[in-house]
Each structure stands twice: as C-alpha cells, then as structure tokens.
Amino acid sequence: MKVLVTGAAGFIGYHVARRLAESKRCEVLGVDNLGDYYDAALKRARLAELEQFADFRFIRSDFADAVAFNGLHSHFRPDYVVHLGAQPGVRYSMEKPAAYTHSNLDGFASVLEACRHAPPKHLVFASSSSVYGAGAKPPFREDDNTDQPVSYYGATKKANELMAHSYAHMHGLHITGLRFFTAYGPWGRPDMAPTIFARAICEGQPLKLFNHGKNLRDFTYVDDIVDGVVKVLLYPPSTHPTPLTRTAQIFNLGHHRPVETRLFVQMLEQLLGRSAITELVPAQPGEIEETCADLTRIQTAIGFTPKVPLEEGLRRFVEWFRGYYRL
C-alpha cells in the first residue's frame, strides 16, 4: 500500500515512516520542508537513516503550499495519509503565533483539500493533549470539554479537530485525530524536555524546573506512539449512510502514568551518572499542570496498550543521546 507521511523528517514522523518502510509492505513518500525551528542537521540525520529503505522516498516541500502539495498528492495517490507535520511547541506559540497559523491551520487546510480531491482510505493526523485546557481534570477523556485551550498551539490543534469533523461530514472523508501525550525517545527534538534536561545535566548548566518541578506529564515512549498510529491507520471510521452521521474520530494516545518533572530529572541523573543543578521557578503561562490520558476509547477500538515503561524508555533515550551528541 502507498502511504504519504508529512513531517517525515520530524521526531514522530521519522519513526512512523521508518516503521512503515521497514515492514516491506508499504511504499512510503515522506514530505517535509526541513524548517529552521531547530537545527535542520538533526532532520537530515533522520532522513539519512530512512534512505536505507528501498520503499522510502522523500520530497522537500511545504505542505502548507496548497498548489504544490495537491500536485504531489494527486501524483502519488496514496492509499493512506499520516499528517504529522506541524509547528510544535507550547511556549514558542506565545512568541511566533504566525508560524502556527501557517503550518497548523493553513497547512492542515491544504492537506484536507488534497484529500478531498483524491480521497485516501484513511487520513490520520496529529492532535495534542494541549487541546485540554482550563478546567480539564485528569485523566483526560476524549469527550471532555476542550473549548478553552490555554496556549495558541493548543488552539490550533483544537481547530484541526473541528476542521477534520467538517471535512468528514461534508465530503465523506475517513479521518482520525490522535491526541499525543508528551512523546519522548531517540531522535527527539532538542526543544523537548528530555534533551534539554539531559544536555544541562551533562554540561553542568542550571536547569529550570517550572512550577517548582511539580508538573505531571504523561510521558509516552515513541515506539508506543508509533504502534498506536499504525494500528489506527488500518481502522478508518465506519462508512455511515447519511452525511448527518459522518464524523472524524478522536483518540487519546498516551501512557496513563503521569510522572512529576522532578522525578523525571532524578531518573535522568541516575542514567547519566551526573547530578543536575536545578532552579525551581514558577509555572509558565500556557502550560497545564498535569496531563494524563484516559485510554479506554482507543483500547476498546483497536486494543492499544502502551508497552514501554518510563524506566526502559529513558534508558533507550539516554543511549541514543550520548551517541548522537557525544556527551
């Protein structure tokens, strides 16, 4: 089968593209603009890993360019689309909201339009636990109210879900959104907590722990994320007889075991064999104090259960981190 993966040079996109390509049952087309939000050398290194697979091809392109993306989509004619490309980061959305409007809103509209003109069997896209905002009580359930995201990033992901519902309803597209919960693992972005913390520990630099290190995060190992994405991909929403009953389906994809940031740092200290210099500071605007995924819906639908405990996942991350950064 033919699968188009946007954001293929990104963290989760790389892992999904790799899983599909190494299966030898998929022809995978990766799309990414290799943007400069963080060092593109890491993105190129991920692509170099993917180039070993005969069933993987890559095109450098901005999926928010509607004309270009529609052209490559219509030429490739994928059976499935996994849309993982986006502008990530909660804090950065306070500084550069235009980047989120471009990638997360205009970009997703471009993907939806291309799929409308040449419908795949299933479009799976990345949402985020950041859609759960003010008033959300863990564990977060998919039918909780998500009308008050506390960051612009979360607002764009909420908008994506609404856009998906509209295209499913009006055009009969089979669409699923996955609310990722704090993915981590090898090849992670340099702006993500594990890499920031590990680098500070190795270099003896002060490490700021917001909300005095009391934030709880549902850290989910990237292989578990990929398991969920690939399983969901093969289970599109049912075809409904009337437009009134068509909808996009939404699933949480997490680990259901939130951990305090302070404990997370302590685990890294043990694995790295070094002590952290921590600064306990107040909470940042736009952040949720605790995230925890209720997995009932996705477990019922596809039998998803996370397999990698945090202790093992961090060990694998540290092994990669030391090898890649030579620290």
Lowest average pLDDT, out of 30-44, 49-63, 276-290, goes to 276-290
Q: In the prediction, which pLDDT does 15 show?
A: 98
Range of the domain at 25: 2-188+220-255+292-307
123 DSSP β-pair partners: 81, 175
Among 230, 317, 259, which residue's Cα sits nearest to residue 5?
A: 230
Task: Tell me what percent of the residues of the chain surpass a pLDDT of 70.
Answer: 98
Query: In a 3-state reduction of DSSP, which class is residue 160?
Result: helix
**Count: domains in the chain:** 1
Confidence of residue 136 (pLDDT cuts 50, 70, 90): confident
Cis omega (within 30 of 0) for bond into 190: no
**Residue 98 vs residues 34, 105, 231: alpha-carbon distances, Å:** 18, 10, 33
Residues 6+ apart with CB under 8 A from 165: 247, 248
Residue 153: active-site member: yes
Give the mean pLDDT of 181-187: 98
The answer, yes or no, to whether residue 288 has pLDDT greater than 90, is no
Give the mean pLDDT of 166-172: 94
User: Could you write out the DSSP letters of every residue in 97-139?
Assistant: HHHHIIIIIIHHHHHHHHHHHS--SEEEEEEEGGG--TT--SS
Confidence of residue 245 (pLDDT cuts 50, 70, 90): low
**What is the tens place of the pLDDT at every residue in 196-209?**
999 999 999 999 99
Is there a contact between 3 and 79 (Cβ–Cβ < 8 Å)?
yes
Sort strands 277-281 and 206-210 into parallel, antiparallel or unpaired. parallel
Q: 203 in a domain, yes or no?
A: no
Q: In the prediction, which pLDDT does 80 show?
A: 98
CA angle (189 as vertex; 195, 130 as ends), nearest 5: 100
Q: What is the average pLDDT score of the chain?
A: 95
DSSP, res 55: T
The answer, yes or no, to whether residue 287 has pLDDT greater than 90, is no
Give the mean pLDDT of 250-269: 97
The CATH number linked to 227 is: 3.40.50.720
Q: In the prediction, which pLDDT does 285 show?
A: 79
Q: 68 in a domain, yes or no?
A: yes
Q: What share of the chain is helix, strand, coil (3-state, %, to 5)?
A: 45, 20, 35
Catalytic residue among 14, 80, 153, 167: 153
The answer, yes or no, to whether residue 97 has pLDDT greater than 70, is yes
Confidence of residue 244 (pLDDT cuts 50, 70, 90): low
**What is the tens place of the pLDDT at every residue in 33-49?**
999 999 999 999 999 99
Q: 269 in a domain, yes or no?
A: no
**What is the tens place of the pLDDT at every residue in 15-35?**
999 999 999 999 999 999 999
Q: 95 in a domain, yes or no?
A: yes
Q: 267 in a domain, yes or no?
A: no
Q: 317 in a domain, yes or no?
A: no
Q: 279 in a domain, yes or no?
A: no
Helix boundaries (H) for the chain: 11-22, 40-50, 66-76, 92-95, 97-100, 107-117, 152-171, 193-203, 222-233, 261-272, 296-302, 310-325
Q: 209 in a domain, yes or no?
A: no
Please report, as a single letter, which amino acid is at residue 310.
L
pTM: 0.96
122 DSSP β-pair partners: 80
Confidence of residue 133 (pLDDT cuts 50, 70, 90): confident
